[in-house]
């Protein structure tokens, strides 16, 4: 009986097989001829490319998270983010958010053809909003103006007594704006105006830390020591007023000139505080509001604040929320002055 042939065994110590064990049929075929050094190199390269990479799945989510923020600043980003309908109406420059809520309660607003009776509705740019039968205009870019309020105007859109208002006296080319805080009928000086209700509310809050500075002429006598006591605040008729920085500048006949700085905006606050010191204010001028100054802005005139200046003062978070990274509508091109205005008086800054 002939002897059975002996099966050839694969070379288990072959250099290109020490790390990867392949099925027997492939090993058997490769064992029939001694591989050359070039073949060995090709085989090693090919098999290395076929090796599973266990670490890659773990790294993939990390790379995606890193790329995510890079896509956020795209021009269309955030356009369809939901917001309350009153905010959307205010952003269009028609009114303040509070007024928009009142309009809804009065039945003046429709959403996608349906009459609304509650402001507790969120919308996106895909929704159709109609106010008083007119489609809502596109939202205007957030803007801020400095205005020199003259004496003898009330800071309201409508006055029950029929007195002239700030908003009746504004230049006709201005869009609908709201004031950031108010100035009394007989108070003059810097009043900030904006077309965005959210910005107005933010800048009115004492938490912004912005100092409102006034120059006051008052009848009577006072010492610096008396004024220094205001640094701890004062309570008048049950109302607590915050710290006040007060300086006695000069004496002029029966009057004194003072400079005061405070961070609140209570009704007639400066007049009441000085009255508690037996001083009768006969002229009051607001000369600055936070970083923005009156300087030599003429009474009754307005001047836009550059968007980049406003963005610098608001900080990155609020700037992004308000969309202030968009091009400045008050700049026609690099190096140009704001539209419709001559060069600023020497030394003026915003």
Residue 230's SS3 state is helix
User: 80: buried, middle or exposed (CB in 10 Å: 19+, 13-18, 0-12)?
Assistant: exposed
Specify whether the CB–CB gap between 62 and 314 falls below 8 A: no
Active site residues: 184
What is the C-alpha to C-alpha distance for residues 238 and 68, in angstroms, rounded to an integer? Answer: 54
Closest CA to 258 of 234, 288, 289, 227: 227
Measured CA to CA, the distance from residue 237 to residue 137 in angstroms comes to 47
Q: What are the φ/ψ torsions at residue 240 (nearest 5 degrees)?
A: -95, 125
CA 118 to CA 99: how far, in whole Å?
Answer: 13
Cα 175–Cα 181–Cα 182 angle in degrees, nearest 5: 90
Q: At what angle do helices 97-105 and 197-204 cross, to 10 degrees?
A: 120
Do 140 and 195 contact (CB within 8 A), yes or no? yes
Q: Is 238 left (phi over 0), alpha (psi -120 to 50) or beta?
A: left
Number of neighbours of residue 268 by Cβ within 10 angstroms:
13
Task: Mention every residue, 6+ apart, whose C-beta is less than 8 A from residue 192.
Answer: 144, 145, 146, 147, 179, 180, 181, 203, 289, 292
Going by C-beta distance under 8 Å and a sequence separation of 6 or more, which residues neighbour residue 31? 8, 9, 10, 11
Sign of CA dihedral 202, 204, 208, 210: positive
DSSP per-residue letters across 154-171:
BSSS--TT---BTTTSS-
CA distance to 23, 140, 337, 342, per residue, from 333 (Å): 71, 20, 9, 15
């Amino acid at each position: 009986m002939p002897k059975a042939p002996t099966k050839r065994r694969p070379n288990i110590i072959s250099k290109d097989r020490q790390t990867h064990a392949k099925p027997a049929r492939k090993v058997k075929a490769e064992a029939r001829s001694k591989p050359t050094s070039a073949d060995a190199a090709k085989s090693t390269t090919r098999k290395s490319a076929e090796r599973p990479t266990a670490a890659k799945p773990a790294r993939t989510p990390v790379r995606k998270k890193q790329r995510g923020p890079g896509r956020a600043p795209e021009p269309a980003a955030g356009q369809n983010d939901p917001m309350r309908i009153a905010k959307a109406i205010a952003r269009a420059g028609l009114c303040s958010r509070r007024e928009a809520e009142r309009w809804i309660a009065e039945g003046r607003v429709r959403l996608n053809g349906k009459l609304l009776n509650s402001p507790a509705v969120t919308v996106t740019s895909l929704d159709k909003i109609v106010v008083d039968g007119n489609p809502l205009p596109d939202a205007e870019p957030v803007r801020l103006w400095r205005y020199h309020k003259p004496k003898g105007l009330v800071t309201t859109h409508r006055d029950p007594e029929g007195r002239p208002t700030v908003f009746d006296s504004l230049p006709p080319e201005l869009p609908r704006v709201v004031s950031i805080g108010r100035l009394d009928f007989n108070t003059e000086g810097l009043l900030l105006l904006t077309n965005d209700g959210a910005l107005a509310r933010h800048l009115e809050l004492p938490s912004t830390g912005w100092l409102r500075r006034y120059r006051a002429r008052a009848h009577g006598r006072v010492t610096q020591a008396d004024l220094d006591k205001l640094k701890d605040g004062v309570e008048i008729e049950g109302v607590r007023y915050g710290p006040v920085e007060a300086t006695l500048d000069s004496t002029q006949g029966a009057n004194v000139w003072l400079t005061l700085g405070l961070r609140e905006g209570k009704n007639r606050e400066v007049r009441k505080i000085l009255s508690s010191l037996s001083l009768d204010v006969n002229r009051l001028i607001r000369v600055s509001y936070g970083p923005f100054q009156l300087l030599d802005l003429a009474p009754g005139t307005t001047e836009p604040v550059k968007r980049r200046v406003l963005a610098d003062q608001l900080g990155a978070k609020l700037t992004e929320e308000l969309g202030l990274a968009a091009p400045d509508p008050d700049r026609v091109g690099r190096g140009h002055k704001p539209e419709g205005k001559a060069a600023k008086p020497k030394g003026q800054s915003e």
